[in-house]
Copies of this chain bind each other. A is one copy, B any other.
């Protein structure tokens, strides 16, 4: 074993013939250079939300999502807070509902509460999806329910489509707006066997991202009816999100959307194959057991401190990096998140097989 690598973290270990299971590759400036390679330098910048470059992409995404209008944002954080604020203002009810591990609850420094003074009702439990009965059992009025498809923090789980339809119907009957956190919407369409606009038709407002499965640099679309998006543009200005030029993100979002939106079925099949390989190993299980998108979590019955040296040895032996980040669940188990992109299909099958054989053997010795 290499002493140098032993001191390095899992993400720092690097050898020349490196293969990654997840992702599209390095997030470096080449991603932007590639997106610009066929763009005419004479193309004019957008100007504070106006101009061909931004309006064309917004129109294209509105059509793709089956909504009247769409607005480009540099971030989903900004777009989603604004969506919930608009629905809260419209109903004059400053309460919304979402999952306990919703992005707004755990990753945004309480922006929704600090900026909008909106009270979130945490529906259901941390370790499972929101169910229809959770929505039916909400005490008091709410303006909006946010659903995240797939629910990222629990491995990218999805409700049955019938339950999703039932929740949507219930919300319409009750006058509750339904907002889609579709950060990974494109990634779930192969499992649902639906088009984006079919899924979005169940929702009043929709956010999608261009740097998850799509693999762009940053950027988001917020879509809905004209009155909704008009109000969102006022808030975008208030937030300082209405930049004089958003085209670096617009152009790259468009480029990688075109490049990858039709590859989601491939990523989904590969995710199922890869989850199968993990599940064959002793002391390893995936969540969900069979992925319903390009992502899943892998749970290991050993701690991160025990697993890291094993993963480093596998990397050195086979050139395959199974994962870059491990998080402990408790003293005897840890997990990792994987999201399949362009890199998985580049891993030679024999090296993949060797890596999993070694993983199985080495974990067995610890259990």
A214-253 residues with Cβ-Cβ distance < 8 A to B are 217-218, 234-235, 237-249, 251
**How far is it, in angstroms, between the C-alpha of A109 and the C-alpha of B41 when the chains are bound?**
32
B238 adjacent to A241 (CB under 8 Å): no
Q: Closest residue to A45 on the B side, CB-wise? A: B27
A76 adjacent to B36 (CB under 8 Å): no
B36 adjacent to A239 (CB under 8 Å): no
B36 adjacent to A41 (CB under 8 Å): no
A197 touches B (CB below 8 Å): no
Cβ distance A240 to chain B, nearest Cβ, rounded Å: 3
Q: Closest residue to A244 on the B side, CB-wise? A: B218
Q: Closest residue to A30 on the B side, CB-wise? A: B41
List B contacts of A79 (CB < 8 A): 240
A359 touches B (CB below 8 Å): no
A78 adjacent to B241 (CB under 8 Å): yes
A238 adjacent to B41 (CB under 8 Å): no
Cβ distance A181 to chain B, nearest Cβ, rounded Å: 13
Interface segment, A110-118, A282-290, A331-339?
A110-118
A111-163 residues with Cβ-Cβ distance < 8 A to B are 111, 114-115
With contacts A45-B217, A217-B45, A249-B248 taken as known, whether A108 is within 8 angstroms of B28 at the C-beta atoms is no
A44 adjacent to B26 (CB under 8 Å): yes
Cβ distance A292 to chain B, nearest Cβ, rounded Å: 24
**How far is it, in angstroms, between the C-alpha of A260 and the C-alpha of B361 when the chains are bound?**
61
List B contacts of A111 (CB < 8 A): 237-240
